[in-house]
Amino acid sequence: MSAFQLHRLLVKSWQKICSPLHIKYVHLLIDNDQDEILTSLYMQNVLKEANIESKLCILYDNLYWKDSKIIDNDGNEVQLVWKTWMWETIFSDYLQAEQDGSLNKKINGEHPRLCQIVLNDQIKVIEPLWKVIPSNKAILPVLWSMFPNHPHLLQSEWTLTDDLKKNGYVKKPIVGRCGHNVTLFDVRGDSVLDETQGKFLDRNVIYQKLFTLPKYEGYYAIMGSWIVHGLFAGFGIREDKKLITDAESPVAACCIVWK
């Protein structure tokens, strides 16, 4: 699928989502991150083409409580949110709000918390909550215990076993992104092949069998795909000379050619 086809599918999908709900305004809720800002600016163009108005909310300083509803600084009620915030960040904010007693505070003119926006019965969120389960690496040891030696799975454990040490293994946080806080150990388990730093050092970790990516012309390649409204919508390839792919890894141009 070409980039143009992907774009058209995004436009049509937004129309299918918003039309039955009679919603003509979408709030894009993102962190103050350059990649997220650029992505959301593109999504705003998609929404504009779908004849849907939108407002970009970097953090949530331009959102306020009004009569138990959340509005933006232009007076538009927040009804539908597209977000780039990780669900785990939202859950952490929820737990913090429970602890400090602010979870149920809805004072006119004050800013809502992140969890009060996204975990709100009056607001729909474009990203299903069930994605928390498959996106968390804690599911990998569970899958391995259910389907040991499955050809599409790598051995994954909560504890470092002798078997993993003998064959080489990867230590990675159950929650993370962009290859942060990943360590690769060689087949003896006593030498680090590669490792990355990041902000997920305090998370629980799993240990997974090492599988080195194929190398082509000096680069390791990894493929990612897009699902839009339940349909396959395209793929992309990141490649790098490093063993661990991260957000700085180059994106390779690619296409499928039929003879």
The CATH fold assigned to 136-211 is Dna Ligase; domain 1 (3.30.1490)
202-242 pLDDT, tens digit each: 899 999 999 988 898 999 999 888 889 888 888 889 999 99
Q: Which residue has the higher pLDDT, 188 or 27?
A: 27
Q: How confident is residue 5, by pLDDT bands cut at 50, 70 and 90?
A: confident
133-174 pLDDT, tens digit each: 998 999 999 999 999 999 999 999 999 999 999 989 999 999
The domain segmentation of the chain, as residue ranges, is 3-132, 136-211, 216-252
The total number of residues shown for the chain amounts to 259
Residue corresponding to tokens 């599988």: 211
Pairing of strands 25-30, 80-83: parallel
- Could you tell me the two tokens for 121? 């019965």
| Predicted pLDDT of residue 220 | 92
- Strand-pair partners of 172: 206
62-105 pLDDT, tens digit each: 999 999 999 999 999 999 999 999 999 999 999 999 999 999 99
**Is the pLDDT score of 2 beyond 90?**
no
Please enumerate in sequence order all residues whose Cβ is within 8 A of that of 9, keeping only pairs 6 or more positions apart, or say none. Answer: 1, 228, 229, 231, 233
| Predicted pLDDT of residue 69 | 96
12-64 pLDDT, tens digit each: 999 999 999 888 899 999 999 998 999 999 999 999 999 999 999 999 899 99
| Predicted pLDDT of residue 190 | 77
Q: How confident is residue 259, by pLDDT bands cut at 50, 70 and 90?
A: low
The CATH fold assigned to 3-132 is Rossmann fold (3.40.50)
Using only the alpha carbons of the chain, give its radius of gyration: 21
Q: How confident is residue 199, by pLDDT bands cut at 50, 70 and 90?
A: confident
> Among 16, 43, 45, which residue's Cα sits nearest to residue 30?
43
Please enumerate in sequence order all residues whose Cβ is within 8 A of that of 15, keeping only pairs 6 or more positions apart, or say none. Answer: 50, 51, 52
161 in Cβ contact with 221 (< 8 Å): no
